[in-house]
Amino acid sequence: PLSKSKRKEFSKLFVERLKQSYLDKLDLYTDEEVVVGEAKQTKKNRVEVLTFLVSKDDKKEMTYKLYKSKKKGWLVYDVVVLGVSIVATYRSQFSGILKKGSMEQLLERMRSTGELGS
């Protein structure tokens, strides 16, 4: 089992990595418009919001998956970009590292500025 301090560190590092990855990708888009499509409820406290990143030549689909927290309201738990889930991508990367090594090795890679790889 993972200690409380290691779980907290993992959460912090993961959120930082997600934010940076998302911001890096947004910097690539300058003249695009975000169009919010319909939201559909998938479960009692879960919705998916279809959005499009529209440029004069292209339209990219993204789906934001949200759940309703009792304390914090609606929170995003996954983003699907062009059919690829961010959560599934990280799960695959983490699994590859953990099959070959330890949680401490995963944390060490997350602390570094390099890519996770597998």
For position 60, what pLDDT does the model report?
87
Show the low-confidence residues of the chain (pLDDT under 70): 25-29, 113-118
Give CA–CA dist 108/84, Å, rounded.
26
* Predicted local distance difference test score (pLDDT) of residue 28: 67
Q: CATH number of 31-82: 3.60.110.10, 3.10.450.50, 3.40.50.300, 3.30.565.10?
A: 3.10.450.50
Looking at residue 58, its pLDDT comes to 87
